């Protein structure tokens, strides 16, 4: 439980309308039927019309309803969603776990930084480095020589630093495996979800730069470089030696074939299949992926032909 005044002092809203002496016991989804005055909600501009229907509670919003309800307290922000994120982080997050679980397996010459957490049945192989304040959740395996920065969050059931898929035919025509003798390097403040694989490089390093966010069920192959502050979302597949720039969004179920270069501030659309390089600032969609204006033009022409 927290007193609303503490939230106000921390977040410093543009304006406060209503009583700030009340207690806040929980944060909930926007609920037009809510009858409690001790819960906190947020509303985006898209759903601001729902404000008029809310009769109780504390609401983080970008604008006021036409009629202000006296049983509500309104906190106005330029970005209510970001304000809600800060409330959850500051006041409602469970205490951070620290320490090494009894079932964890730690290899030789492993370095684990201050106040890190290693969950149940985690395996950290030889010569790996885990930075301070980093969390590795249950059943995740960190393969040998992996380097992980500070304040990293890694979920459950991941494999970081396993070998990738690389084969060549020998003199008899049989496929033979190419050894992967590189490693994985993960920067600071990176977050990785659950059930994700990030492969070690054949030579050199697979690298995730600072503040990269990787969702559940993602495959990042050997030798990939992901630039600072980029996001790779659920079911995405990033093939070997791809280079992704900064502030780039790789959408769910998209695929990038090997050795392609993706620029800074790029958006790769839902289920796109990227088969060529993408320049800075572009948005690509479709299969094969094309710049959005080109793809939509082709779609329009195709529709016109079908209905002629």
Beta-carbon contacts of 211 under 8 Å, excluding residues fewer than 6 positions away, are 187, 188, 189, 190, 228, 229
CB atoms near residue 202 (< 10 Å):
18
pLDDT digits (tens, 9 = 90+) for 87-102: 999 999 888 999 999 9
Q: What's the mean per-residue pLDDT of the chain?
A: 94
**Bridge partners for 98 per DSSP:** none
Residue 308's pLDDT band (cuts 50, 70, 90): low
Q: How far apart are the first and last CA of the chain?
A: 65
Asked whether residue 304 carries a pLDDT value surpassing 70, the answer given is no
| Rounded Cα–Cα distance for residues 73 and 149 (Å) | 41
DSSP states of 68-85 as a string?
--TTEEEEE-SSHHHHHH
The bridge status of strand 2-3 relative to strand 23-24 is antiparallel
> Is 156 within 8 Å of 140 (Cβ atoms)?
yes
Average pLDDT over residues 7-33: 93
| Catalytic residue positions, numbered | 222
Residue 306's pLDDT band (cuts 50, 70, 90): low
| Rounded Cα–Cα distance for residues 115 and 192 (Å) | 19
> Is 191 within 8 Å of 209 (Cβ atoms)?
no
Helix (H, G, I), strand (E, B) or coil at 9: helix
Q: Which of 93-97, 151-155, 176-180, 301-305 has the lowest mean pLDDT?
A: 301-305
Residue 292 has a pLDDT of 86
| Rounded Cα–Cα distance for residues 70 and 73 (Å) | 8
Residue 67 has a pLDDT of 85
What is the pTM for the complete model shown?
Answer: 0.89
| Rounded Cα–Cα distance for residues 242 and 225 (Å) | 6
By residue count, the chain amounts to: 308
CA max distance for the chain: 82
Average pLDDT over residues 189-200: 98
């Amino acid at each position: 439980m927290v007193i609303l005044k503490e939230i106000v002092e921390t977040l410093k809203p543009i304006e406060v309308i209503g009583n700030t002496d009340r207690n806040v016991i929980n944060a909930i989804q926007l609920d037009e039927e809510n009858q409690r005055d001790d819960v906190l909600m947020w509303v985006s501009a898209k759903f601001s019309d729902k404000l008029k229907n809310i009769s109780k509670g504390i609401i983080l919003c970008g604008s006021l309803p036409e009629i202000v309800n006296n049983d509500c307290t309104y906190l106005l922000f330029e970005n209510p969603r970001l304000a809600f994120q800060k409330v959850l982080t500051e006041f409602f997050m469970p205490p951070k776990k620290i320490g090494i679980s009894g079932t964890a397996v730690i290899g030789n010459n492993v370095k684990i930084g201050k106040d890190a957490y290693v969950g149940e049945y985690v395996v950290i192989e030889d010569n790996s480095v885990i930075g301070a304040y980093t969390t590795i959740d249950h059943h995740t395996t960190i393969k040998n020589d992996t380097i992980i920065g500070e304040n990293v969050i890694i979920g459950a059931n991941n494999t970081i630093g396993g070998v990738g898929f690389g084969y060549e035919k020998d003199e008899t025509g049989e496929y033979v495996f190419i050894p992967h003798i590189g490693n994985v390097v993960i920067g600071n403040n990176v977050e990785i979800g659950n059930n994700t694989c990030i492969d070690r490089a054949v030579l050199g390093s697979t690298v995730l730069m600072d503040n990269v966010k990787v969702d559940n069920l993602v495959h990042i192959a050997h030798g990939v470089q992901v630039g600072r502050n980029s996001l790779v979302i659920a079911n995405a597949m990033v093939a070997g030696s791809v280079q992704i720039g900064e502030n780039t969004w790789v959408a769910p179920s998209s695929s990038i074939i090997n050795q392609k270069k993706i620029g800074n501030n790029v958006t790769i659309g839902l289920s796109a299949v990227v088969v060529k390089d993408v320049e800075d600032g572009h948005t690509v969609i479709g299969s094969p992926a094309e710049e959005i204006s080109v793809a939509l033009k082709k779609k329009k022409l195709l529709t016109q032909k079908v209905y002629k």
